[in-house]
Structure 1
Amino acid sequence: MELTEHDNFAETLAREIKQPIDIGSNKDAAKTRIALPPGWHLEEKDDSKLLPTPLRKYAKVRVRDTESFIEYMKRHGSLTDSTVWCLADYTQGRIAFTGIVNDHGEDADKAAWRDHLVHFSPAFSEEWNRWTGFHKKPMSQTDFASFIEDNLRDIASVEGSGLPTGSAMLEMALSFEATQDMRFKSAIRLSNGGVNLSFVQDDDAQTLQKMAVFERFAIGIPVFWSGDPYQVDARLRYRVRDGKLNFWYELVRTDKILEAASSTVIATIKDKTGAPFFFGEPFIS
């Protein structure tokens, strides 16, 4: 603790008169500062928690949805003393908001404590977590078929786009399951952008089975929990190793999809809180 001239004088006086001395107690803050023997150091005691009510508001809370964030800021904040900060990294899949209820205002002579905070990170939907979780992860023929079946309702067909329907993807998935014990023979690219894969039975080299693999498909899923769905394009990939196929998919520009979904949340928070809005990090300790 840094001592002032007043503090040094009090300690010297305490040594002379051999008894504790009250130094600059703040009755409004329920704080007492006393010089104590034997080393005559200063000790500060804070009894503010014994008061009937706190001297001022401060809190650190975390809410789970946009409306709760907005309502908290409106309940406790003001247009002159509150700010909202947005930390967005779409390539890393992160978006978070911090509301500072008692932030510094425009008046340079009126500082604030900046310790009444509300945090909010929009929760991603289960569909978004599932599809992004398996992005670029190779799967065996059987595992890929199971994945497609489990998430079939997410597959979206856009009229006139040439992308496969959910039923076509299901048929493809079932074909994968039917050929799981076969050996890969060849792949021929089709005029419609798909790929024709040929398989032969291990015990009958003359038996051929063919199935069309779609090179591109689309899914329609919400980015955030309870949010609107967005179309996400995907590329289907495969690799042959030791006569067996591994499949995976690559989602196209998920950062742009996240940015589009986040812009809706940002616009809502800006409009309904009315507080000054900043992109960045407030560095609150």
Structure 2
Amino acid sequence: MQQALQHLVTLAQSLGKPIEVPGIPAPLALVPNGVSIESLEHLLPAPSRIKQKLTVLDAESFIVYVNRFATQATAVFCNGPEGRTFTAVIDYHDPAAPAWRDHVATYRCPTTVEWGNWKEKDRKRMDQATFAEFIEDNVKDITHHPEHENTPSAADMLEISRTLEAKKNITFRQGTRLDNGQVQLTYNEEIDGRAGEAGQLRIPEEFFIALKPFLGGDAFCVPARFRYRIQEGRLVMWYELVRADKVLEEAYNAVRAKIEGAINDVPLYEATI
């Protein structure tokens, strides 16, 4: 009986106090039902450690943030061209001791509006007027490639789009590929419901767009193939971005190289956390 009472006294004295148990590195405590523990950290002059998770919008901000807060324990993780996410854990585990990993900065390589516009319409067939409107709205991204002599400039593409808009009442008959890489479309203008004067429209086989896939990233020159079909005299047009996935991979690798070269001695790992 005396031993049982002594055991109860010992338990009562242990309530709310840490108990060291051999073989268990972390201390334990007896917590009675209905009793909670409240942290008084908010009454201190400053927090006991940084607890911050934020998302930055460009690589430059990510680099600046990492360099400002980095310690010997800081590590950066990236998950490849598909995930395109860079995560800096400022208070990551030191080889000599574990850490809480409460201070994290993330950069997810957000794509630009321009890239989204071109990717959204990639390989989608449009009627003559819709295609012309799209080209006119995004003509600022089109560029002449100096290594491809016959590729059109922005002004050339703007002229083509306005020609397509102007010639709505026409019936297309055929398309012929020319030696210079262009396609010549033959049509008849419709006058009072009848076939009128014949005409020709030349469109390029390929054009180039110059834009930044990632916000704040490098610009890339992306080839796009012109495609068309003549269906019952009506022209259906679209374009196909050439290896758009490869462009994103190259853009990611450029961002990776930029970050790795600018975060000093902070290690960078290809990993998912």
TM-score, structure 1 normalization: 0.79
Task: Give the partner amino acid of 1:250.
Answer: E
- Counterpart CA distance in 1 for 2:36 and 2:9 is 13
Equivalents in 2 of 1:105, 1:220: separation in Å?
A: 44
How many angstroms does 1:97 deviate by? 0.8
Structure 1 residue runs of 4+, over 6 Å off? Answer: 14-17
- Structure 1's 14 and 47: CA in aligned 2 closer, same or farther, altered over 3 A? farther
Contact 1:34 1:43 in 2 (8 A): no
Q: How does 1:148-167 map to 2 (within 5 A)?
A: 148-161=135-148, 162-167=150-155
Structure 1 gap ranges (5+): 1-8, 26-31
Structure 1 residue corresponding to 2:77, chosen from 85, 100, 114: 85
Name the counterpart of 1:179: 167
196, 199, 204: which one pairs with 1:214? 204
The whole-number CA distance in structure 2 between the counterparts of 1:170 and 1:41 is 74
Q: Is the 8 A contact 2:58 2:217 kept in 1?
A: no
SS in structure 2 at match of 1:239: strand
Q: Deviations 1:39-58 (Å, cap 9, x if unpaired)? A: x5774433333333222222
One-letter code aligned to 1:134:
K
Letter in 1 for 2:270: F
Q: Tell me whether 1:106 sits opposite 2:95 in the alignment.
A: yes
Q: Does the residue aligned with 2:220 lie in a helix, a strand or coil?
A: strand
Residue 123 of structure 1: how far off its partner (Å)? 3.1
Paired amino acid for 1:232: V
Unaligned runs of 5+ in 2: 20-27
Secondary structure of the structure 1 residue equivalent to 2:77: strand
Written as runs of structure 1 = structure 2, the 5 A alignment for 1:170-249 is: 170-202=158-190, 203-249=193-239
Residue of structure 2 in register with 1:276 after alignment: 267
- The answer to whether 1:256 aligns with 2:251 is no
Normalised by the length of structure 2, the TM-score is 0.82
Aligned pairs (5 A) from 1:19-98? 21-24=15-18, 35-36=31-32, 43-78=36-71, 80-90=72-82, 94-98=83-87
- Percentage of identical aligned residues: 33
State the Cα distance separating 1:82 from its structure 2 match: 0.8
Can you list the C-alpha shifts for 1:127-150, whole angstroms capped at 9, x where unaligned? Answer: 222212211122211111112122
Shift of 1:121: 1.9
